A = this chain, B = another copy of it.
Amino acid sequence: MSEEEKEKYMDQITVKAETLIEALPYIRDFNNKIVVVKYGGSAMLDKKLEESVIKDVALLKLVGMRPIIVHGGGKEISKWIGKVGKETEFIEGFRKTDRETMEVAEMVLNRLNKYLVQMVEKIGVKAIGICGKDGGMLRVDKKMPNGKDIGFVGDIKHVNTEILETLLDNDYIPIIAPIGMDDAGETYNINADDAACAIAGAIKAEKLAFLTDVDGVCMNPDDSSSLISVLDLNEANKLIEAGVISGGMLPKVTNCINAVNAGVGRVHILDGRREHCLLLEFFTKKGIGTAIIGDDSGYYSNEIEQ
């Protein structure tokens, strides 16, 4: 080894030691904690990103966390609705979901669901794919935007976490398709972001992470270096009032705020296009996205108690 190589090697060793010292206390803190990952967007369409997400989730499980995946599948549904020769009607910006559309959606989402199970099982970690009808997990009411009937689209009114607890206690990763049942036993489609929020809140998850197609919340959306690492509820509300958080980011942040208010410890908006974004966000001090928290009082010390 030349002197230069040696030096480079020592630098690398030093970064490794620092990374470990940085990460280990989080690993302790997160032991047995529940993390809900909303999986969707670009990270679901690219084979390499898909593998990176699945591997990250499996690693979270391996080091003692209890992950839950909630997934969407809108693009795939549209594809199959086309295949069976149906047209789609929009009401108040929502796709009207008649019984046949619901039937196709349920078929597509359940297959996608089992596909993700397969991905996790292939790397040796236990997974089970369920929807909100299993164990009566998601009970919904019919969504009526502006009082209009848009078919079988549901608003969650109750989450029965019993089935999730059984699966988590037995070391399975639950993978959830966003489908629910109303009091009459009818099947409904649910928005995946809403499902993830409701589930994380009901089960008092430590973390809820949204894999999105943006870096996180930025002071200036065009400058990724203006990314905000941590936002407390107070600051988040101020940025909304000031118009800094707006457009497509507004409903996402609103969802995060609701989840924190429902008892989730920390909600993360991550760029799902970046490989291993979950590990980097959870196990480094600075993280790589934006975390929304209840208050800014230090939450995790990331230092061994002195």
Contacts and interface: CB of A to CB of B under 8 A. Distances in A.
Interface of A: 1, 6, 12-13, 15-17, 19-21, 23-25, 27-28, 31, 55, 58-59, 62-64, 80, 83-84, 103, 106-108, 110-111, 113-114, 117-118, 121-131, 133-136, 162-163, 166-167, 170, 172, 179, 181, 185, 187, 225, 275-276, 279-280, 283-284, 288, 304-306
Given A16-B19, A25-B62, A179-B114, A134 B127 contact: yes
Contact of A134 (B64, B123, B129): B129
Given A19-B23, A58-B304, A117-B133, 11 more contacts: A16-B284, A20-B279, A24-B63, A55-B304, A110-B111, A126-B135, A126-B162, A129-B130, A129-B133, A130-B130, A166-B172
A256 to B, nearest CB: 23
B107 A280 contact: no
Contact of A128 (B21, B28, B163, B306): B163
A245 B246 CA distance: 68
A19 B15 contact: yes
B110 A275 contact: no
Given A114-B131, A118-B133, A279 B124 contact: no
A126 B136 contact: yes
B19 A20 contact: yes
A135 B124 contact: no
A185 B122 contact: yes
A166 B305 CA distance: 23
7 contacts: A16-B280, A21-B276, A25-B62, A63-B63, A118-B181, A118-B185, A123-B306
A280 B13 contact: yes
Contacts of A20: 19, 23, 59, 276, 279-280, 283
A163 B124 CA distance: 15
A95 to B, nearest CB: 19
B21 A19 contact: no
A17 B280 contact: yes
A127 B59 CA distance: 30
Contacts of A123: 304-306
Given A106-B111, A108-B107, A118-B185, A17 B124 contact: no
A69 B157 CA distance: 29
A203 B306 CA distance: 27
A166 B225 CA distance: 48
Given A107-B107, A114-B179, A304 B124 contact: yes
B122 A134 contact: no
A134 B107 contact: no
Q: Which of A15, A58, A122, A305 has the most CB of B within 10 A?
A: A122
A32 B108 CA distance: 36
